[in-house]
Amino acid sequence: MREWRPDIEQAKGLAITLVVFGHLVARQDPAGVHWYEPLRRAIYAFHMPFFMYLSGLMAVYSGFLQRRRADFTAMAAARARRLLVPFLAMGILVVLGKCAAAGVLYVDNAPASLGAGLLALVWNTGHSPALSIWYLFVLFVVSLGTLWLLDGRPARLPWLLGAALGLFWVRLPAYIYADRVALFAPFFLLGAIAGFAGARWEAWMQRHWRQTMLLFGAALVVAALVPTHKEWEQRLILLMAGSLSFPAIHGFLRDSRLPSLQSALSLLGRYSFMIYLFNTLFIGLAKGVLFLRWSWDGAHFLPFAAMLMSAGLIGPVLLKYFGFRHVKRLDRLTN
């Protein structure tokens, strides 16, 4: 970004913490734990839309979306280095790691074979063994698609948002992440609109974040306590809770007077890319080791979950600090 924005750094820190929490349970729920799944439903109703909103904001603040179509080739190459290279490297590492560990430890979503895992990573993506890193691929597609269609003209954004909202309701197949591109493109565009609005959006948040927080909380209660079985209901909840989270959470963080919370979230936000890439590996490793001796059922789940959260958040930070930052290429790739 052209200038450091502490509110965005803190928002990224909160969002990545929620991502890690959502990754604690991948397939089989712990027995006798009835609160985790409703809480996860509530989190999944907004946390990735909120991440996409932040990405749209940063695409404007960094000057990316002000570029013209003539710069597309150079910008696509830069986006590929930033997003596709880590996506492919991490995806291949996950597939290889799961295939190697499947015979020794408990492994979530293990591929049937190495070839099947690699194919699912980039083609039949609904069954990807590394589905947790889908955001990188989707952001690559959505950001470059927006750059091309916008062509440096912010006045086109409402039209693009209208088209994206129409596509949002279409059930696309889970190939090459097309389904997730359609689901999350509107939130990136809303973030871009907020970014171009600049001070007007920030002033509106400052005045109204408390009211939107109430509406946002009500949407989360509905998401948590009223399981939705129809696809249109799930999409409606995602659209409502996701959109309400922007002013509610971002406005709260801008108005917050909690220095310890701000410091912790800033630290996590600084390492959010590294945490996003590696949290599932550290969670999976910790889970495999813990399952050798302990169960996570019933009352055991709280300490078990605390250890998994610590592994998912702290492990990638330590890997970055003690490992990657000493290797120039790896350090640059994971900043």
Residue 1 lies in a domain: no
Q: At what angle do helices 134-150 and 178-197 cross, to 10 degrees?
A: 60
Number of domains in the chain: 1
Is the Cα dihedral 86, 92, 96, 102 positive or negative? positive
pLDDT tier at 1, thresholds 50, 70, 90: very low
Minimum mean pLDDT range among 129-138, 213-222, 227-236, 246-255: 227-236
Instruction: Answer whether residue 53 shows pLDDT above 60.
Output: yes
Output DSSP code: residue 83.
I
Instruction: Answer whether residue 64 shows pLDDT above 90.
Output: yes
User: Quick one: pLDDT at residue 108?
Assistant: 78
Task: Determine the Cα–Cα distance for residues 181 and 138; give it in Å rounded to an integer.
Answer: 5
Residue 324 lies in a domain: yes
More confident residue, 101 or 262: 262
Q: pLDDT, tens digit, for every residue of 147-185? A: 999 999 999 999 999 999 999 999 999 999 999 999 999
Residue 120 lies in a domain: yes
Task: Determine the Cα–Cα distance for residues 287 and 11; give it in Å rounded to an integer.
Answer: 28
User: What is the domain range of residue 285?
Assistant: 6-333
Residue 97 lies in a domain: yes
- State both tokens at 277: 């890439």
Q: Dihedral of the CA atoms 243, 238, 190, 162 (nearest 10)?
A: -120
Residue 98 lies in a domain: yes
Residue 171 lies in a domain: yes
Nearest to 28 by CA among 330, 321, 326, 287: 287
Please state, rounded to an integer, the average pLDDT across all residues of the chain.
94
Residue 185 lies in a domain: yes
User: Quick one: pLDDT at residue 3?
Assistant: 63
Q: How many CB atoms lie within 10 A of CB 324?
A: 19
Instruction: Answer whether residue 2 shows pLDDT above 60.
Output: no
Residue 34 lies in a domain: yes
Yes or no: say if 167 and 189 are a contact pair by the CB < 8 Å rule: no
**Statement: the pTM of the whole predicted model exceeds 0.75:** yes
